[in-house]
């Protein structure tokens, strides 16, 4: 009799496993609306109320697996060669895009980026436990890969299922277009990028060109390109890839989960992130909230958004307790990827900052350039946006809003090699402010005497400086 019962119980468990499935949908972020749409709908804003959408998951289904079991699954997959789960994004597939067929996933093994202890830089500025998450050490050189793998995979699935999509388009400050072009090239899907003429780095411009995108250079700024791409993607054959499309947020949200995983599931005290269109900070928050809701973590870090002073609408709104939000005309900044005056994801970002006891800080051109360069002298190779985050951190330390004993993580959003023009002008001293850490090459005749003399002089100078 007992034997029979056992068999029955076993078969019931198997049955439950088979029917248990995870699913996700678009949902309007307006609490008074909450309209839902299938993820295969070509839609970027709510049809009822025009609010932004976000991807919602069936949390009850996900909660059937214990926190411990999720952690074990994510650890087993991390950087494995089992396709596609070795990717930092697709290793968390059930939390990202559970219903996509593996055949339609377009992955370049994104995520799993270096998180390193910036010991020397931390001590220099007064933090004992400072870590840098190098999201730019990835396929196209910025964190944008995390979101683009998800969006392009979904597009591939939609095309496979018969959707009339002919191309994927975006407006970009450089890195979004590079990521879009790379993933579309890998998938064999045409891409179209709208770039503000003369406002992105040479490397960023060359990337989509090399990857075969249709590159449109418009004599305007990012906000101008965004206005145009919104219009042309009203035609459903051109799919919109900007972060107003919340599929990208689903991939980008793995960054927070991955950081916590890399710390053996310990939550840092503060995470600092540079913000422009403000999708990334919303994504960071969304991944962490999901971890909390599914019991993987029991507390949340504080989140800091750092903006360039020349494009700081969120900072201005923060100073007014987020009671109002006024778009600004973004001024030219070295942090070109965040030169955005009218950020699409502001509501999501403000919601995140309220949940995470958030702070917003801004940095002048000189502050961001010096912070990036000072970091470089300790073995980093910072892009200007990472410079904004580092400068913001230094300011908050001085203001006493971050304590030196806190466990701080700075998200480095792009690889410094994409911004060599910024570094060259800094070290040549051709920017319109004094560059404190400029390190100019010394030009010499090719003789041993001249080199020896220069060495003696320069090394003495360094010793004097370091004492």
Ligand X SMILES: *Cc1c(COP(=O)(O)O)cnc(C)c1O
Enumerate binding residues for ligand X (CB under 6 A).
Answer: 142, 144, 175, 243, 274-280, 337-338, 383, 385, 413-414
**Beta carbon nearer to ligand X, 257 or 349:** 349
Q: Which of positions 6-35 make contact with Zn ion (CB under 5 A)?
A: 28, 30, 33, 35
**Beta carbon nearer to ligand X, 122 or 279:** 279
Residue 365 beta carbon to ligand X: minimum distance, rounded to whole angstroms = 16
Task: Say whether 195 sits in a helix, a strand or coil.
Answer: strand
**Beta carbon nearer to Zn ion, 28 or 118:** 28
Query: Which partner in Zn ion, ligand X, none is near 33 (CB below 5 to 8 A by kind)?
Result: Zn ion
**Residue 377 in the binding site for Zn ion (CB under 5 A):** no
Q: Which of 48, 329, 405, 420 binds Zn ion (CB under 5 A)?
A: 48
**Beta carbon nearer to Zn ion, 30 or 166:** 30
**Residue 99 in the binding site for Zn ion (CB under 5 A):** no
Write b or e for each residue in 115-148: b if 16 or more Cβ atoms lie within 10 A of its Cβ, otherwise e.
beebeebbeebebebbbbbbbbebbbbbbbbbbb
Query: Positive or negative, the Cα torsion across 149, 151, 157, 162?
Result: negative
Residue 274 beta carbon to ligand X: minimum distance, rounded to whole angstroms = 5
Strands 238-240 vs 214-218: parallel, antiparallel or unpaired: unpaired
Query: Which partner in Zn ion, ligand X, none is near 28 (CB below 5 to 8 A by kind)?
Result: Zn ion
**Beta carbon nearer to ligand X, 104 or 336:** 336
Residue 457 beta carbon to ligand X: minimum distance, rounded to whole angstroms = 38
- Residue 187 makes CB contacts below 8 A (sequence gap 6+) with 106, 152, 155, 156
Residue 307 beta carbon to Zn ion: minimum distance, rounded to whole angstroms = 28
Write b or e for each residue in 87-108: b if 16 or more Cβ atoms lie within 10 A of its Cβ, otherwise e.
bbbbbbbbbbbbbbeeebbbbe
Residue 29 beta carbon to Zn ion: minimum distance, rounded to whole angstroms = 8
CA 192 to chain CA centroid, Å, is: 21
Residues 137/113, Cβ–Cβ less than 8 Å = yes
**Residue 43 in the binding site for Zn ion (CB under 5 A):** no
Peptide bond into 217 cis (omega under 30): no
**Beta carbon nearer to ligand X, 77 or 199:** 199
CA atoms of 354 and 321, how far apart (whole Å): 10
CA distances from 215 to 174, 193, 301 (A): 11, 5, 40
**Beta carbon nearer to Zn ion, 310 or 351:** 351
**Residue 40 in the binding site for Zn ion (CB under 5 A):** no
CA 75 to chain CA centroid, Å, is: 22
CA 353 to chain CA centroid, Å, is: 16
**Residue 46 in the binding site for Zn ion (CB under 5 A):** yes
Residues that bind Zn ion (CB under 5 A): 28, 30, 33, 35, 46, 48-49, 51
């Amino acid at each position: 009799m007992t034997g029979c019962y056992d068999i029955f119980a076993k078969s019931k468990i198997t049955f439950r496993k088979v029917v248990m499935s995870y699913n996700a949908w678009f949902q309007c972020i307006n609490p008074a609306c909450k309209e839902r749409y299938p993820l295969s709908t070509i839609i970027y804003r709510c049809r009822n109320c025009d609010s932004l959408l976000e991807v919602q998951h069936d949390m009850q289904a996900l909660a059937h697996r214990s926190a411990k079991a999720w952690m074990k699954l994510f650890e087993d997959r991390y950087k494995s060669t089992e396709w596609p789960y070795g990717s930092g994004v697709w290793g968390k597939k059930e939390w990202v895009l559970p219903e996509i067929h593996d055949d339609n996933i377009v992955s370049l093994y994104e995520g799993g980026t270096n998180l390193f202890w910036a010991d020397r830089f931390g001590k220099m500025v007064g933090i004992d436990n400072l870590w840098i998450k190098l999201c730019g050490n990835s396929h196209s050189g910025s964190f944008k890969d995390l979101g683009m793998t998800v969006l392009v995979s979904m597009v591939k699935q939609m095309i496979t299922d018969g959707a009339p999509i002919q191309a994927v388009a975006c407006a970009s400050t450089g890195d979004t277009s590079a990521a879009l072009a790379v993933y579309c090239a890998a998938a064999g899907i045409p891409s179209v990028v709208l770039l503000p003429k003369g406002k992105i780095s040479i490397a960023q411009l060359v990337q989509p060109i090399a990857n075969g995108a249709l590159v449109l250079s418009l004599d305007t700024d990012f906000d101008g390109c965004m206005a145009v791409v919104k219009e042309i993607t009203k035609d459903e054959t051109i799919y919109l890839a900007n972060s107003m499309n919340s599929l990208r947020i689903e991939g980008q949200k793995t960054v927070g989960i991955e950081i916590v995983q890399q710390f053996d599931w310990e939550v840092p005290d503060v995470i600092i992130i540079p913000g422009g269109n403000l999708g990334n900070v919303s994504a960071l928050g969304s991944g962490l909230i999901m971890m909390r809701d599914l019991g993987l973590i029991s507390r949340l870090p504080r989140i800091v958004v750092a903006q360039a002073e020349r494009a700081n609408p969120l900072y201005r709104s923060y100073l007014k307790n987020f009671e109002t939000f006024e778009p600004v005309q973004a001024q030219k900044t070295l942090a070109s990827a965040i030169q955005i005056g009218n950020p699409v994801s502001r509501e999501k970002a403000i919601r995140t900052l309220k949940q995470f006891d958030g702070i917003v800080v801004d940095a002048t051109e000189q502050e961001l350039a010096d912070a990036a360069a000072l970091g470089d002298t300790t073995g980093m190779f910072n892009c200007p946006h990472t410079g904004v985050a580092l400068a913001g951190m230094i300011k908050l330390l001085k203001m006493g809003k971050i304590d030196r004993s806190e466990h701080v993580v700075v998200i480095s959003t792009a690889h410094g090699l994409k911004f060599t023009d910024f570094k060259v002008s800094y070290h040549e001293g051709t920017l319109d402010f004094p560059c404190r850490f400029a390190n100019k090459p010394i030009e010499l005749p090719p003789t041993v005497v001249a080199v020896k003399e220069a060495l003696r002089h320069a090394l003495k100078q360094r010793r004097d400086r370091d004492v």
